[in-house]
Amino acid sequence: MARPLREQLAVATLLLLVPLSGVMTWAAGGTYSDQVAQLDQEAHRLASAIAAHVEQSGAEDSASITEYLQRLLFAEGAEVTVTDDRDRVVARYATSSREVEEKARGSAPVPRLKWTVNVWIPTSVAWGRTEPIYRRTIAITAGATLVMLALEAFFLRRYLGALIHLERSADRVGAGDLSTLPYEPMPSRELEHLRDAFAGMVENLREARESIARQVEEERRIRRELESLQQQLIRQERLAAIGVLLSGIAHELNNPLQAISGFAELLQRQPELGPDVRADLALIKKESGRASAIIRNLSRFSRQQGSQPSAIYLRDVVASVVELRQRRFQEQGIVLDVDEQSSQPTLAVMNELQQVLLNFVINAEQAIASGTSATRRIAIRTHDTNTGVALEVEDSGPGVRGEDESKLFQPFFTTKPVGEGTGLGLSVSYGIVRSYGGTIGYRRADRGGAIFYFELPIAAETHKTA
């Protein structure tokens, strides 16, 4: 297991200081040995100097020799003896009566008297000369230790702070936090490169995560669109089946209604009938005619026509759709205003224009139902323009939000709750109107509701005649 950086640096410092201290101690010990050898030489020179004095002065008694020795400066503990050829002490002088264990010795002969001068100098003199060197060595070692410890603390503070910052940043990234890392100055270029590389890696990871999130969201959106498309296809199949069923029902109901209307008309011709009965028969004939018109419109609307466009008046389109939705308006308490001012025909297929107007009307009904306004009104207006005919449907609902206006005619876009809108009605209406060379759009009403409109060219033959 790796050890902390502080501990490793402390061990490295000790490993450096121990050899350094040993070398300096060895150097000081060598100096001490040199001083001891020098003492031996000094003892020999001193012995030679004393022997030369005795030889030249001709002093032969110990008193004169001792007096001469006393005048010399000797180190503490030094000793001088003069012996004859029989090793008898002629003269002796010692600077201290204390016995010194280690001494440097030097000797020199006095040839004329056949004497020998012996000089002993204690090695403590050598230690006294070497002691300052030892003290300097200790001071240098201690100073070097303190300097190295200070440098170590300085670098540890800088490098450990940078390393701890990188470690915490790595922990943040490991925990999933890919936010921008705080800037931290680094003590060296290598650590700066490491910091920048790590920050770049975090940025790449963040971009990759955002890209993956976008891809996941796009896949979810595509999946929702596919599911919606599947539901729309299913609904379209159901609508097609309902259309076939409505066509059959309309055909089956049309014959009985014609019979009811015909018998009511025959009964009205009976002269013996009273006014009340005639009024009831007229009502029967009127309502059966209305039922026949509704069934005729349903049959026409449900029939998937592949016929060629023909001249169609907008008033006929409005009448057929109003006939289909009139009862619904009454149930919901919606007031319908119809203002027909268009007199020119357009070239189109009847059931396709019915589908466009029916989409407008149903959207208006649902907008009113979702709003809170006390006014429940739908207005259908037609009028002629310079080159075409126009129709618009205005409701008293809450209108369309500004951010949704640009997406109204996109496929599968709807502001209705799930299950209430397919998002295809307006886009299909857009395709129908554009296929006839017309324009379709939306604008906000003055009173806050919505106005959906379309404009189609006037039928070519009528336009030329006019």
Which residues, 6+ apart, have CB-to-CB distance to 46 below 8 Å? 72, 80, 106, 119, 121
Examine the domain organization and report whether 262 and 364 are in the same domain: no
Residue where a domain stops, chosen among 93, 127, 148: 148
Examine the domain organization and report whether 312 and 458 are in the same domain: yes
Query: Which secondary structure element, helix H or strand E, spans residue 122, and what is its range?
Result: strand 115-122
Can you give the pLDDT at residue 406?
Answer: 65
Q: Is residue 167 included in any domain, yes or no?
A: no
- Find tokens 């609307």 and name the residue: 301
Ranges assigned E (strand) in 242-313: 310-313
Residue 32 lies in domain: 5-148
C-alpha triplet 76, 77, 82: angle, nearest 5°: 120
Measured CA to CA in angstroms, residue 346 lies from 303, 339, 382, 433, 435 at distances of: 21, 18, 12, 11, 13
Can you give the pLDDT at residue 83?
Answer: 87
Examine the domain organization and report whether 241 and 315 are in the same domain: no
Cα 401 from chain centroid (whole Å) = 32
Residue where a domain stops, chosen among 132, 148, 164: 148
How far apart (Å, rounded) are the C-alpha atoms in residues 267 and 281? 8
Examine the domain organization and report whether 140 and 11 are in the same domain: yes
Partnered with residue 79 across adjacent β-strands are: 94, 120
Can you give the pLDDT at residue 466?
Answer: 38
How far apart (Å, rounded) are the C-alpha atoms in residues 174 and 266? 93
How far apart (Å, rounded) are the C-alpha atoms in residues 373 and 365? 13
Examine the domain organization and report whether 272 and 392 are in the same domain: no
User: Parallel, antiparallel, or unpaired for β 388-395 and 345-348?
Assistant: unpaired
The answer to whether residues 405 and 442 touch, using CB atoms and an 8 Å cutoff, is: yes
Radius of gyration of the chain (CA): 62
How far apart (Å, rounded) are the C-alpha atoms in residues 105 and 111? 20
Q: At residue 419, what is the residue type?
A: G
Q: Is residue 129 included in any domain, yes or no?
A: yes
How far apart (Å, rounded) are the C-alpha atoms in residues 123 and 105? 10
Q: Is residue 173 included in any domain, yes or no?
A: no
Q: Is residue 94 included in any domain, yes or no?
A: yes
DSSP tally for the chain: helices H, then strands E: 9, 11
Q: Is residue 160 included in any domain, yes or no?
A: no
What is the domain-level CATH number for residue 254? 1.10.287.130
Q: Is residue 189 included in any domain, yes or no?
A: no
User: Parallel, antiparallel, or unpaired for β 345-348 and 310-313?
Assistant: antiparallel
Can you give the pLDDT at residue 463?
Answer: 44
Helix (H/G/I), strand (E/B), else coil: 89:
strand
3-state secondary structure 337-406: EEEECCCCEEEECHHHHHHHHHHHHHHHHHHHHHCCCCCCEEEEEEEECCCEEEEEEEECCCCCCHHHHH
Ramachandran class of 362: left when φ > 0, alpha when ψ lies in -120 to 50, beta otherwise: alpha
What is the domain-level CATH number for residue 111? 3.30.450.20
Examine the domain organization and report whether 39 and 142 are in the same domain: yes
Examine the domain organization and report whether 423 and 311 are in the same domain: yes
Examine the domain organization and report whether 311 and 458 are in the same domain: yes
Q: Is residue 220 included in any domain, yes or no?
A: yes
Domain tally for the chain? 3
Examine the domain organization and report whether 25 and 131 are in the same domain: yes
How far apart (Å, rounded) are the C-alpha atoms in residues 145 and 267? 133
Examine the domain organization and report whether 283 and 347 are in the same domain: no
- CB environment 331-363: b (16+ within 10 A), e (fewer): eeebeeeeeeebebbbbbbbbbbbbbbbbbbeb
Structure tokens at 332: 């919901």
Q: Is residue 221 included in any domain, yes or no?
A: yes
- Find tokens 């596919």 and name the residue: 226
Residue where a domain stops, chosen among 289, 304, 319: 304
- Find tokens 């396709």 and name the residue: 352
- Give average pLDDT by consecutive 10-residue segment, the chain, 466 residues: 63 72 75 82 85 76 75 75 83 72 79 84 78 80 80 75 77 76 74 79 83 90 81 63 65 75 78 80 77 66 63 91 84 90 91 87 86 83 93 88 71 58 72 90 85 90 44
Examine the domain organization and report whether 216 and 140 are in the same domain: no
Examine the domain organization and report whether 322 and 274 are in the same domain: no
